[in-house]
Structure 1
Amino acid sequence: MTDRSASAPSAFGKRSGASAIYNRLFTGFVWFVGICVILFILGLLFLLLQKGLPKLTWDFLYGLPSEIEEGGGIGPALFNSFYVLFLSLAISIPLGLAAGIYLAEFAPDNKWIGLVRICVEGLSSVPSIIFGLFGIAIFVEMFQVGLTILGGAVSLAFLNLPVLTRVTEESIRAVPVEMKNASFALGSTHLQTIRRVLIPVALNGIITGICLVAGRAFGESAVIILTAGVTTSGSMWDFNLFSPGETLAVHLWYVQSEAIVPDAQEIAQKATAVLIFFVLLINVVFRVPLWLNGRKTKL
């Protein structure tokens, strides 16, 4: 008995030492992979921005595109990018939030709702070109309005709607049930609980989802090519919903693949820099509500 009890602490000490070594190795591996990923992202950004960013001018940002002569700008395409993004978010955010809240709070737990969730998850992974073909079938063939900003915006909204629905549902479900019960105990109605408890607590996840779909919509090209076309109206500030809606991503693709202007390569480099800059800016802008919400929660 004495020998066994004396050997037990020694064996436990050996296991603890091995666990510590494994823990250090795993921690070092995670640090190594994380640093490699960060360096890869920074290197990729450097390669994409080093040629185009120093050449940017205000004339390029506000100028009209040129089909033959060099020196054209991206003004209408850049405006269409923000215009289509705003319209698509104005459609998809209310619908996505409403659908996600319904699935999380009101939908019964049965096979039909389970099938709906499966369909929503499936639509989230459908290639964007499928939504472009859907937009052609609706706006070009059925309503015969042609390639327009309206068709591109609505098609992008359909593309983003499943993602927003799932993100909203999961964010609402992640709120601790104790907070919800406490709100009911204080006499709040279900609607008041959703507005004042569930949505504010789940706001971080919801805004993160909106940020992801906004960046995806701003850089989307396949849907826009099929539903809004590869040309603009030629005006810088064209709010007509039935005008052609070439965006910056589509203009970049067109210049790189089919344009005949002499400085096509330079235009593509500068357009790439602008596209990356505004995608990063969109992410920063959407982080501001998260920062404000975090400060409010701490107070």
Structure 2
Amino acid sequence: MSARFVDKTATACMWFAGMIILGILATFLIYMLYKGLPVLTWDFITGMPSDIKAGGGVGPQLFNSFYILFLSMLFSIPVAVGAGIYLAEYAGNDRLTDMIRLSTESLATVPSIVLGLFGMIIFVNMFGMGFSIIGGSLTLMLLNLPVLVRVTEESIRTVPSYYREASLALGATKWQTIWRVVLPNALPGIITGITLTAGRALGETAILIFTAGTTVSRFFPNFSWGAAGETLAVHMWYVMAVGLVPDRLTIADGIGALLIITILIFNLAFTLPSKYIQRKLTGSSR
């Protein structure tokens, strides 16, 4: 059997596997959008939900989804980027570093429902926050941290060492080198990690059921951190599990389509600037 034949066979298998994954994704997206797009009217997207009557909207849930996401990333990004910088630039190969990496990897493997129960015990009960936006955001931060730390560390490690050496040779301090040379070059990778983490957090349910609750404020929009914080994903679970509205299937279809469109727009809004920054930094025209 010739090497050329083996190469072509392996290439064909890889293409076939890729097309299967692409086909599954396309089938899922087309079906969800086909069922949900007719539901997405302005009244549905911005209206108040209804517990009993048909025709309710998801305006507060949409607002809560982005508000909780914003707060969780606001809490997560400084800690994660700081930890990633420490692990990549300052930490040596000692027990403390090994313990930090082990803790990060262990936190990444914890099921989200366990994090939700932990958040309910600590933030909802012990700290007396109740089912609130702030409780959900702090718990969601625990889901975001492991991925952001690892992505930040790996992005910083991919920056060539001669960038650091050139900066230090010009008289810059270590922190000036990190802030003005390393981080700008690692920024595209960090933005990609933030995008993936945000997309995952936007569709999270188990954590927020136990911490942010399954109700919304009577006022919309409500920026209070102590307000109830049901999100789109949680509302979909709620109407299908215990909801009494007669059009719950229609609501679920609409929420599914709205989540897909929202996540796609969100990813594009972060991916395109990341590509632009990467081209500017590398001088590439592609």
Task: Report TM bin, short chain.
Answer: over 0.9
Task: Say what the alpha-carbon RMSD is for the aligned residues.
Answer: 1.3
Residue 224 of structure 1 corresponds to: 208
> What's the CA shift for 1:74?
0.2
CA distance in 2, matches of 1:262, 1:60: 15
Which of the numbers 150, 156, 174 marks the counterpart of 1:190? Answer: 174
Residue 49 of structure 1 corresponds to: 33
CA distance in 1, matches of 2:20, 2:142: 36
Residue 71 of structure 2 corresponds to: 87
Does the 8 A contact of 2:188 with 2:275 survive in 1? no
CA distance in 2, matches of 1:20, 1:276: 42
Q: Which runs of 5+ in 1 are unaligned?
A: 1-16
Q: Which runs of 5+ in 2 are unaligned?
A: none
> Counterpart amino acid of 2:55?
G
- Aligned runs of 1:105-144 on 2, under 5 Å? 105-144=89-128
1:249 corresponds to 2:239 = no
Residue 276 of structure 2 corresponds to: 292
Does the 8 A contact of 2:132 with 2:228 survive in 1? yes
Which of the numbers 196, 211, 218 marks the counterpart of 2:195? Answer: 211
CA distance in 2, matches of 1:255, 1:187: 62
Residue 48 of structure 2 corresponds to: 64
Does the 8 A contact of 2:36 with 2:255 survive in 1? yes
What is the DSSP-based 3-state SS (H/G/I as helix, E as strand, rest coil) of the residue aligned with 1:202?
helix
> Counterpart amino acid of 1:206?
I
CA distance in 2, matches of 1:138, 1:115: 23
1:34 corresponds to 2:18 = yes
TM-score (norm 2): 0.95
> Counterpart amino acid of 2:8?
R
Residue 5 of structure 1 corresponds to: none
Cα deviation, 1:256-291, whole Å, max 9, x if unaligned, reads 111111111101100110011111111111102212
> Counterpart amino acid of 1:192?
Q
Q: Larger Cα Rg: Structure 1 or Structure 2?
A: 1
Cα deviation, 1:18-56, whole Å, max 9, x if unaligned, reads 111111111111111112211111111111111111221
1:22 corresponds to 2:6 = yes
Mean CA deviation greater in 273-282 or 17-26: 17-26
CA distance in 2, matches of 1:297, 1:112: 34
CA distance in 2, matches of 1:55, 1:151: 31
Cα deviation, 1:198-226, whole Å, max 9, x if unaligned, reads 11221222111101110111111111110
CA distance in 1, matches of 2:178, 2:155: 12
Cα deviation, 1:124-165, whole Å, max 9, x if unaligned, reads 121111221221122222122211100001111121112111
> What's the CA shift for 1:298?
4.1
> Counterpart amino acid of 2:155?
S
CA distance in 1, matches of 2:230, 2:200: 16
Which of the numbers 149, 152, 174 marks the counterpart of 1:165? Answer: 149
Cα deviation, 1:224-253, whole Å, max 9, x if unaligned, reads 110010000122200011011000000010
Residue 235 of structure 1 corresponds to: 219
> Counterpart amino acid of 1:256?
M
4+ residue segments displaced more than 6 Å: none
Residue 12 of structure 1 corresponds to: none
Q: Percent identity?
A: 50
1:267 corresponds to 2:251 = yes
CA distance in 2, matches of 1:295, 1:143: 46
> What's the CA shift for 1:121?
0.9
What is the DSSP-based 3-state SS (H/G/I as helix, E as strand, rest coil) of the residue aligned with 2:2?
helix
